[in-house]
Structure formats: structure tokens, C-alpha cells
Amino acid sequence: MEKFKENLPDIIGWTGSASVLSAYILLISKIDIDPIALDALNIYGSGAVGYICYLKKAWQPLFLNISWFIVGGVSIIRNVNNS
């Protein structure tokens, strides 16, 4: 269990990166996917990567991920209201 706790930030970072990349691949591949699902992938991914950036004190990519998190948040609110 201690090893898991030690590796948890890396797991969060990698799953976040995979989430943002998956959202982008799904978007450009023209697969019919619910826009809310894409927003959720982007929100989780940018939040997770942003968390890692914060831990590592990497401020420039943290700013980018906070911005992407906000964009995803606004988008999911619009998509939920339009459903």
C-alpha cells in the first residue's frame, strides 16, 4: 500500500495525460461521441496534469492546464444546459 501511495501522483499524471490525448483523438477522428464525455475527459485530464505541475512547481504548464480546465468547465456547463 505504501508503494501505491508513493506512485499515486505519477498515476494521476499519466491518466490525466491519456485523458486529454484521448479526447483530442476522439475529436479529430470524427467518432460520434457525446460532447459531455469529451468535456469530462478534458476536465479530468487538465486537472490531473495541473496537479502534477503544481507539485513540481512548473508554473507555465500549470497556467495552461488551469486555462484548459476552465474552458472544459464552461463547455460542459453549456452542453449540459443544451441537453
| Sequence-ordered list of residues with C-beta below 8 angstroms from that of 21, at least 6 positions apart, any chain | 45
First-to-last alpha carbon distance for the chain, in angstroms, is 42
Query: What cell does 17 get?
Result: 495525460
The pLDDT, as a whole number, for residue 45 is 98
Query: What cell does 48 get?
Result: 490531473
Residue 32 per-residue DSSP state: -
The pLDDT, as a whole number, for residue 1 is 83
Q: How far apart are CA 46 and CA 39, in angstroms?
A: 10
Query: What cell does 61 get?
Result: 504548464
The pLDDT, as a whole number, for residue 17 is 97
In a structure prediction context, what are the per-residue pLDDT tens digits for the chain, which is 83 residues long? 888 889 999 999 999 999 999 999 999 998 899 999 999 999 999 999 999 999 999 999 999 999 999 999 999 999 999 87
The pLDDT, as a whole number, for residue 64 is 97
The pLDDT, as a whole number, for residue 83 is 77
Q: How far apart are CA 41 and CA 6, in angstroms?
A: 25
